[in-house]
Amino acid sequence: MFDLDGSVAPDHNGVADHLIRRRVRMSDAAERPTQAMARDEFNEPLGADAPTRVAKERPWGLIATSGIALVAASLAVFAYVWGDPMGGEPYAVARIVTPPPLEPARRAPASAQQPEDSTGAIAGANRASSAEEVEKASGVRVNRPAGTAPPGALIIQVPEAVGLKLSPAPDRRLVEKSRHGVLPRIGGDGARPADVYARPMLTDGALKPGAPRIALILGGVGLTPGVTDAAIERLPGAVTLAFAPYGADLPRQAARAREAGHEILLQSPMEPFDYPRMDPGPHTLRAGVDAAANLDDLHWQMSRFSGYVGIANFLGARLLADEGALTPVLREIAERGLYWLDDGASPQSLAGTLAPKLGLSGARVDVALDAGGPNALEAGLTRLETIAREKGAAIGMASALPQNIDRLNRFARALESRGIALVPFSSAAQRIPAPSAGRNR
């Protein structure tokens, strides 16, 4: 207790001592401001002394660890529920199998046959084989002159399904430039267009050796585009196509025909007996003009397209009966290495007599298939087959008409089933040795 003058009153209960000690403690607290009570949201108002607040450091490592643990726990729950140990990620399971040790290869016995799935294989291909063995194994039949050995084949017999594309024309060795265009010629090495541009004779191996042969020729091709396309596309490749020189697209059509496997001829317009009432067309070869004029017209005809193996007459009864006019024409054809085909329409034709003297190889049509009326074609085909069986070979010729194409297509495709080979014209032509080597143009 204190008196009014500040002295301490006696206190038998020790109150004075307590007060003194309290004052001392309060004085010490005033002198030590840094030891004040801790600051928190309970001891000071929100926002008070904000500049002097000390930011509390957050435990980022602990937070990250907790997050990873949470994600792992979620994936574990997903895998448990859905049974997917990869947590939904795409994956594949591969079985690893250790292969058995390789055994030494064993040589197959010589009598073992080729497996059925070895398509295209020829037995014994890993060893040298004779030509006869290869032919027997492949199904190809090769006819050769008696007493000769391979090569030297005259006829190669394979199934028609093999297909055949003739080489592009013209061959550079076999061309000569003229004022009308490119003309055929015998090459410097002796190669003839009749041989180079010919289609090989390919027949079914099932035919007997020496089977009858028929050559079918379709004339007037190239004049009507639709009919020409039908002839090229529908007729078998062994059917020979004879192009007239007046078509508008002859080079392309001739190339397409050869690409489809057709051997081709050039039909040469020649003067008939009732000329000019019956006029075959421009550049017709005539009996009443000199040889130079006829040869110039013949060169124009020859220049219209390339790749033909020979020349066939179109009409021409008067010219064919005139030896003086016909001889230069046939000689020119022979010296250019071409075949000659007489259409057989003129009984007065001298071509058959003159051709051997000039070294001109060729033939004469045996049956004009569609001559004589609308029903002539059926009768002509029957007669043609009869001649082929009697003589061994026969040549038939028809005009390029839609109905003729349909009928010839059926007839041609049925020949081999009746034991007859369908051949190109060059295989039926008679080969006559030239009296001389001929001039090399």
pLDDT digits (tens, 9 = 90+) for 103-114: 444 444 433 343
Q: By mean pLDDT, which of 79-93, 164-178, 188-202, 406-420 is the weakest?
A: 79-93
Average pLDDT over residues 407-416: 97
CA–CA dist 354, 340 (Å, integer): 11
pLDDT at 41: 45
Task: Tell me what the pLDDT averaged over the chain comes to.
Answer: 77
CA–CA dist 123, 431 (Å, integer): 39
pLDDT at 114: 38
pLDDT at 101: 53
Task: Please report which confidence band the pLDDT of residue 434 belongs to, taking 50, 70 and 90 as the band edges.
Answer: confident
Closest among 153, 188, 122, 234 to 337, alpha carbons compared: 188
CA–CA dist 320, 287 (Å, integer): 8
Q: By mean pLDDT, which of 40-49, 69-78, 208-217, 358-367 is the weakest?
A: 40-49
The values of phi and psi at residue 430, to 5°, are: -80, 125
Average pLDDT over residues 16-38: 45
Q: How many CB atoms lie within 10 A of CB 438?
A: 18
Q: By mean pLDDT, which of 157-161, 197-201, 313-317 is the weakest?
A: 157-161
Q: Is the pLDDT of residue 267 over 60?
A: yes
Residue type (1 letter), 281: G
pLDDT at 126: 37
CA–CA dist 253, 159 (Å, integer): 26
pLDDT at 206: 83
Are the CB atoms for 289 and 326 separated by under 8 Å? no
Q: Which has more pLDDT, 119 or 137?
A: 137
DSSP assigned state of 279? -
Alpha carbon 260 to its chain's center: 13
Q: How many residues does the chain have?
A: 441
Task: Please report which confidence band the pLDDT of residue 15 belongs to, taking 50, 70 and 90 as the band edges.
Answer: very low
Query: Which are the contacts of 289, defined by CB distance < 8 A and separation ≥ 6?
Result: 325
Task: Please report which confidence band the pLDDT of residue 52 belongs to, taking 50, 70 and 90 as the band edges.
Answer: very low
Task: Record the tokens describing residue 310, joined without a space.
Answer: 């020979």
**Model pLDDT for residues 53-91, shown as the tens digit of each residue:** 444 455 655 566 666 666 555 555 444 544 544 545 444
Average pLDDT over residues 192-196: 97
Average pLDDT over residues 143-160: 49
pLDDT at 30: 44
pLDDT at 362: 97
pLDDT at 164: 80
Are the CB atoms for 429 and 394 separated by under 8 Å? no
Say what percent of the chain tops pLDDT 90. 56
Are the CB atoms for 291 and 328 separated by under 8 Å? yes
With H, G, I as helix, E, B as strand and everything else as coil, classify residue 319: helix
Q: Where do the domains of the chain lie, and which CATH numbers do they carry?
A: 1-27 (no CATH), 160-428 (3.20.20.370)
Average pLDDT over residues 156-165: 55
Q: By mean pLDDT, which of 115-129, 250-264, 276-290 is the weakest?
A: 115-129
pLDDT at 283: 98
**Model pLDDT for residues 277-316, shown as the tens digit of each residue:** 999 999 999 999 999 999 999 999 999 999 999 999 999 9
Q: Is the pLDDT of residue 378 over 80?
A: yes
Task: Please report which confidence band the pLDDT of residue 167 belongs to, taking 50, 70 and 90 as the band edges.
Answer: confident
372-398 exposure pattern, b = at least 16 Cβ within 10 A, e = fewer = eeeebbeebbebbbebbeeeebbbbbb
